[in-house]
Structure 1
Amino acid sequence: MDCDVNTDRKALMPHRNAPLTETGRLRLARCVVEDGWTLRRAAERFQVSPTTAQRWAGRYRELGEAGMADRSSRPHRSPRRTPTHTERRIIKVRVLRRWGPARIAGLLRLNPATVHRVLTRFGLARLMHLDRATGRVIRRYERDRPGELVHVDIKKLGNIPDGGGHKALGRQAGRKTRSGAGYSYLHNAVDDHSRLAYSEILADEKKETAVGFWTRAHAFFARAGITVERVLTDNGSCYKSHLWRNSLAELGISHKRTRPYRPQTNGKVERFNRTLLDEWAYAQPYRSEAERRDAYPAWLHTYNHHRGHTALKGQPPASRVPNLTGQYT
């Protein structure tokens, strides 16, 4: 055998720390075992340490070519690993109750980091990726073009009394002003592909109000160059009415409703609801409902035109809607 072979340093390595490919290891080992090279000479020729040359030569003597494959770096024994019966208890609680690491740790009197490591080791999905009702992994999707599907929903929101609520006055004083403030209803429409949102704060969730909202929302999407093909709603009474059905039919739009008790099906608008609560509704201690409402148009403009969206690789919804009015303001 000719051992004077030029090993290709640009060859694909099994991992980033490996000095040799499996072929290079085999050549080195044969030079030592079969052709009688010294460890130092082989190490210099293949640009590794004598210790490395000795290891591969030893494996070749013991196992032949099979010994040239990578071995797992996992230790043979892990005396400090969480006991198997404890791991089973952790997994059982997670599957049956769908709790996070902190709650499981509290129940089983463990360290939350330990629980987290066990859940990760067994590949259990994060709670945010699960359907809480069934425990199944939620299948994420995104429509291919704007208007293919628009999510519509209503978010009921308690009004802020004049003078401010508990965020402005503190918990104790805020209780005294809370009664009689009433509620607002945020009617929201979010395009599935672009996440472009149209929203209005209205007085109720009656069918006439919902239809009026959709008429204006449809006009908004049309001005942005979006042709709405399908609308997805929950099973609220206003969306089950003949008035709602007929108003969509007149526009040539098909209507789809979510399965009962499955709000994640309408997840795009549900996520929008959560964002507006965090970044507008409860973002600061407003002194009145009028003050909060006055801040809404500016926030909605920021959401559509300037706020980076994680699902859009950090770009705002306007980046996917070239015809959107005011995109560059």
Structure 2
Amino acid sequence: MPPLAHLDRASGAPVRRYERDRPDEMVYIDVKKLGNIPDGGGHRALGRAVGRRNLQATPTVSRNAHGNPRLGYGFLHTALDDHSRLPYTEILTDETKETAAAFLLHAQTWFAARAIVIERVLTDNGSCYRSRLWGETCARLGITHKRTRPYRPQTNGKVERFHRTLADEWAYARPHASEAERRAALDPWLHMYNHHRGHTALKGQPPISRINLPEQYI
């Protein structure tokens, strides 16, 4: 039997690793939606009764047409370089075409500061990525846009796998007393992931080790 580390956790299928020869060639982009945490903590950590009471008491809560409290979602937009597995993530308010296009601009600037000039991006077939604005933004940046085949989400599997790690090791790794507290922990976690956390596909080295920059030793 193959070691568990060599299998996909969701399907149990053997992992067949492939990657581009260098940074720049391909960046994967995807969005993960997370429910916001009420002040005092949510139901995952405290149970439904306490979580609901905290939800009712949170000042920023809204209500739907039936009067039920809603705290909304955070949308994690991530761009991940194929060769280095280096991710850039922002928590944004939605996944509209305007938000997605603005995120691409931010990601392009972030990667450029790390000597990665994005040549191609791969996304799913979400409406924001099929918009004219997204296409115009890619063209303005000199980026070729590719989309995954319908019903083949594994084509974008590296960024989806990163989102699973992000959920396990940041979003739900410990109880958070509020959404603000959880969000404040994101940047330190991303730094740890990029600079210090060993990656199986990189022979135990962190993603920044594949970028020839002095900051890889920070």
Q: CA RMSD in A?
A: 2.1
SS at match of 1:164: coil
Q: Does residue 35 of structure 2 align to residue 161 of structure 1?
A: no
Q: Cα distance, 1:139 vs. partner?
A: 5.0
Query: Residue 305 of structure 1: CA displacement?
Result: 0.5
1:190 shift after superposition: 0.3
Instruction: Measure how far apart 1:177 and its partner are.
Output: 3.8
Residues in 1 aligned to 2:168 and 2:153: alpha-carbon distance in whole angstroms: 19
- What is aligned with 2:158? 268
Higher relative contact order (CA 8 A, sep 6+): 2
Q: Shift of the alpha carbon at 1:137? A: 7.1
Q: Residue in 2 aligned with 1:172? A: 49
Give 1:173 shift: 2.0
The equivalent residue for 1:128 is 8
Would you say the 8 A contact 2:8–2:14 is kept in 1?
A: no
Query: How big is the shift at 1:284?
Result: 0.6
Q: 2:106 is matched with which residue: 200, 208, 216?
A: 216
In structure 1, give the amino acid aligned to 2:45: A
Q: Which amino acid aligns with 1:143?
A: R
Question: Who is 1:28 aligned against?
Answer: none
What's the secondary structure of 1:327's corresponding residue? helix
State the alpha-carbon separation in 1 of the partners of residues 19 and 119 from structure 2.
15
User: Quick one: which of 88, 100, 108 aligns to 1:198?
Assistant: 88
- Secondary structure in 2 matching 1:214: helix
Task: Indicate the structure with greater helix content.
Answer: 1
* Paired position in structure 2 for 1:146: 23
Judge conservation of contact 2:80–2:87 (CA < 8 Å) in 1. yes
Could you tell me how far 1:176 is from its partner in structure 2? 4.0
Could you say which structure has the larger radius of gyration? Answer: 1
TM-score (norm 2): 0.85
Q: Which residue of 2 aligns with 1:240?
A: 130
Give the AA of the match of 1:291.
E
Unaligned runs of 5+ in 2: 56-68
Matched, 1:327 2:204: no
Q: 1:189 and 2:189 equivalent? A: no
2:22 aligns to what SS in structure 1? coil
| Structure 2 counterpart of 1:61 | none
Alpha-carbon contact 1:211-1:247 (below 8 Å) kept: yes
Equivalent position of 2:175 in the other structure: 285
Cα distance in 2, alignment partners of residues 192 and 317 from structure 1: 10
1:47 alignment counterpart:
none
Amino acid at match of 1:301: H
Distance 1:208 1:315 in 2: 36
CA contact (8 A) 1:151 1:266 kept: yes
Query: Partner of 1:142: helix, strand, or coil?
Result: coil
1:147/1:228 contact within 8 Å kept: yes
TM-aligned CA deviation for residue 312 of structure 1: 0.3
Is the alpha carbon distance of 1:129 and 1:168 closer, same or farther for their aligned partners in structure 2, counting shifts above 3 Å? Answer: closer
Contact 2:79 2:88 in 1 (8 A): yes
**Count of equivalent residues:** 201
